[in-house]
Structure 1
Amino acid sequence: MAQSTNLSNNPAPLLSRPWNEKVVLVQVLVGIFLYVNCLMICTFFKKEAFRTDTRYILFAQTLFMDSALMVFTDLALIGSYFQIPVPCIPCVIMCTIMAWLTLGTPLTLVAMCLERYVAICMPLRHASISTTRTRLLGLVLTWCLSAIPALIVFFIFTSSVPLSFFSTYLICTVEMMIVHNWQAQIKAVLYNLYFVIMSITIGFTYVKITAAAKGASKNNKSASKGLRTVVLHAFQLLLCLIQLLCPYIEMAIMKIDYMLFINVRYYNFIMFVLAPRCLSPLIYGLRDAKFLLILRYYAICGLNKKGYCCKFCPLHAKNEKIWPLNGK
């Protein structure tokens, strides 16, 4: 463990390393990702109609979790690349938060699946089920369920290391919290359990939603659009669930070849951390007509009051077909 985390009682001198193309690419992708997410979060808070709709509330929570996770993982990546030693306690807190947020996104997406299942398959009961109390309970339950594995690992770690360990400096990585092999096995069992439960839930809801969408569609074009949305959503969830298994693959590779471990971790970060979280704005933001209309206004018309899209924006449109919510 000391070798993998570079423990020391005092902070080591900062190693100067040049920025390579991989690190620069990650910073560009993270910057674009955070800009789009922040713009969508601001759009969500601007309209009361979004703040009172369960689907948009869950979407906003996904954006918040994804953005926070991206900030923490990017900081960890930069610190690991430049070999920056940090105090143990902030590192432990950051790793625990990252583990918490990692499960938060797929669980929120599962909640969105269940909400869509109720809306499409039980439309007459949707209003009575999707209430303020139910939304609050769902949000709290999502945060609590995602925190269970992270807190278990945290308490096992804090009870397994001596107090002197917390005064050390180390290169902050998520592996530093795995002290014993049995600890890694407990974490793997928990993640596999979550993986199975979420997979079953997703499979059930999407089979039902797809069947309902096909039955309600009057033409092939509408059915095809619904199926494309389902495929994109399922692909995003699959990538998020695969991410839960990546640390164990990386730890096995690290024992064989360290440079191969670095390359595998980089590509896993791109494929299973960045990619699925870039799909959230595409599926729930850009493909939603109401949300896209408001987003386009704040992205373009907000900077150019006399621009082309201003006459179509919901703040100026008087046509109910353009904006049925009357700007609320």
Structure 2
Amino acid sequence: MGGLIFIFVQVLVAVFLCINFMLITTFFTKEFFYTTMRYILFAVTLLSDCVILIVTNLLIICNYLKITMNLWLCAIMFILSTVYSSVTPFTLTAMTLERYVAICMPLRHGDLCSTRCSLHCILLIHGLSSIHFIVDLSIYFASTSIKFYKQSMICNVWIFILYRWQDHLRNAIKTLYFLFMCITIVFSYVRIMKAARAASGEDRKSTWKGLKTVILHAFQLLLCLIQLWCPLIESAVLQTNVKAYINLRYVNYIIFYVASRCLSPLIYGLRDEKFFCAMKSYLLCGFYKKKNVI
């Protein structure tokens, strides 16, 4: 059973990586996309999702095949997985705020959501997302000897969690983050809802579309939030049944890592008319050229 789930995970990850790479390529086909804040943030989520899927899938492969690696390489993978597991939800929150500004503060949208502000926002997102690994690695390197760093072992995130209070601290930081994100989502939803009721005609249609986007962001953040509880559930199952624990880890990975990150292409890759038309044009153009060569 574990082997079948492992193969299924590999196929699923490969499919979503292909879709994300195609969307990233589409993003760079038009200047409008990489000079507009919401599309820039969309590209950040795509890149973040690609990194987290690649890194976590490599860890799954190494654990499944019992492949050992040097601690320094494991630390790099730990940093990437820790940072980019938070980059996506932070970016979703920023995208929600961008929709709020666009709908409720249209006159200030050009100033608040410029390309320069987008770059500052990306730096802030990565800075906040880096707090986890800075705390964990600082505690780890201060508590272990230099000889330990040269050892080879099967890489696991829990290697760098030496104390139980350290895990509680990580969960507290994540909880604070997600409380901030949830408050931001609810605030934006309420304000956009009021704007939708007050609008008329095309403005009402555009506002309701923005409201649906906020709801989808909220659902995606909910899936990311549930990731906090997965380690607690997995550790409880591990004490009773090892095989069930392995299968549960795969199920959690599929639902709360892969599935939650396939919503970004759905929200902007398919629902956004401009991006969908650009993607369609890019794909047809590529097919047309290929056909002519043959």
TM-score, reference length from structure 1: 0.82
Shift of 1:131: 2.2
Deviation at 1:37, TM superposition (A): 0.7
Q: How does 1:239-278 map to 2 (within 5 A)?
A: 239-278=223-262
- Tell me the residue number matched to 2:108: 125
Following superposition, the deviation at residue 213 of structure 1 comes to 2.8
Mapped partners of 1:128, 1:141: distance in 2: 18
Question: 1:13 — aligned with what?
Answer: none
Match of 2:152 in 1: 169
| Structure 1 Cα separation of the partners of residues 200 and 229 of structure 2 | 38
Q: Hey, what's the Cα distance between the residues in 2 that align with 1:274 and 1:242?
A: 13
Shift in alpha-carbon separation, 1:235–1:137, aligned structure 2, 3 A: same
1:135 is aligned to 2:141? no
Structure having the higher Rg? 1
User: Is the 8 Å Cα contact of residues 213 and 226 (structure 1) preserved in structure 2?
Assistant: no
Structure 2 SS opposite 1:304? helix
- For residues 263 and 214 of structure 1, do their structure 2 counterparts lie closer, same or farther at Cα, with a shift above 3 Å needed? farther
How far has the Cα of 1:21 moved from its partner?
1.5
Task: Answer whether contact 1:117 1:208 (CA < 8 A) is retained.
Answer: yes
1:298 maps to a residue whose letter is Y
For the Cα contact (< 8 Å) 2:62–2:155, is it kept in 1?
A: yes
Distance change >3 Å, CA 230–CA 136, structure 1 → 2:
closer
Conservation of the 8 A alpha-carbon contact between 1:210 and 1:230: no
In 2, Cα distance between equivalents of 1:257 and 1:179: 24
Shift of 1:175: 1.4
- Tell me which of 7, 10, 21 is aligned to 1:38: 21
CA shift in 2, pair 1:222/1:109, >3 Å: closer
Give the conservation status (yes or no) of the 8 Å contact 1:86–1:172. yes
Q: 2:83 aligns with which of 86, 90, 100?
A: 100
Deviation at 1:260, TM superposition (A): 2.5
Q: Residue 48 of structure 1: SS of its match in structure 2?
A: coil
Query: Counterpart in 1 of 2:46?
Result: 63
The answer for unaligned runs of 5 or more in structure 1 is: 1-17, 308-328
Q: Check the 8 A contact 1:206/1:230 in 2, yes or no.
A: yes
Judging changes above 3 Å, is the alpha-carbon distance between structure 1 residues 57 and 227 closer, same or farther for their aligned structure 2 residues? closer
Q: Which structure shows the bigger proportion of residues in helix conformation?
A: 2
Q: Give the superposition deviation at 1:231.
A: 3.0
1:224 deviates by 6.5
Q: Mean Cα displacement is larger for which, 131-140 or 76-85?
A: 131-140
Of 64, 83, 86, which aligns to 1:81? 64
Relative to structure 1, the CA distance from residue 222 to residue 89 in structure 2 (aligned partners, 3 Å threshold; closer, same or farther) is: closer
Instruction: After TM superposition, list the pairs within 5 Å mapping 1:92-241 onto structure 2.
Output: 92-218=75-201, 225=209, 227-241=211-225
User: What amino acid is aligned across from residue 38 of structure 2 in structure 1?
Assistant: R
| Matches of 1:52 and 1:114, distance apart in 2 | 18
CA contact under 8 A between 1:210 and 1:226: conserved in structure 2? no
Tell me, yes or no, if the aligned pair for 1:217 and 1:223 is still in contact at 8 Å: no
Q: CA, structure 1 residues 225+127, in 2 after alignment: closer, same or farther (shift >3 Å)?
A: closer
Cα 1:162–1:250, aligned 2, differ >3 Å: closer, same or farther? farther
Letter in 1 for 2:260: P
User: What is the total number of aligned residue pairs between the two structures?
Assistant: 290
* Structure 2 gap ranges (5+): none
Letter in 2 for 1:172: C
Contact 1:34 1:67 in 2 (8 A): yes
Alpha-carbon distance between aligned partners in 2 of 1:300 and 1:112, rounded to the nearest angstrom: 29
The structural deviation recorded for 1:261 is 2.0
- Provide the rounded CA distance (Å) in 1 between the counterparts of 2:290 and 2:165: 64
C-alpha distance 161-251 of structure 1, shift in aligned 2 (>3 A): farther
227-236 vs 80-89, which moves further: 227-236
Q: Cα distance 1:263–1:166, how it changes in 2: closer, same or farther (>3 A)?
A: same
Once the 2 structures are TM-superposed, how far is the Cα of residue 171 of structure 1 from its aligned partner? Answer: 1.1
Distance in 1, Cα, partners of 2:225 & 2:181: 8
For 1:67-93, what per-residue CA distance to the aligned partner results, in whole angstroms no more than 9, with x for missing partners?
011000000011111111111110121
Q: Distance between the aligned counterparts of 2:221 and 2:189, measured in 1?
A: 12
Q: Cα–Cα, structure 1 residues 275 and 76, in superposed 2: closer, same or farther, change >3 Å?
A: same
Q: Which moved more, 1:224-233 or 1:149-158?
A: 224-233
* RMSD over aligned Cα atoms: 2.2
Aligned residue type for 1:161:
T
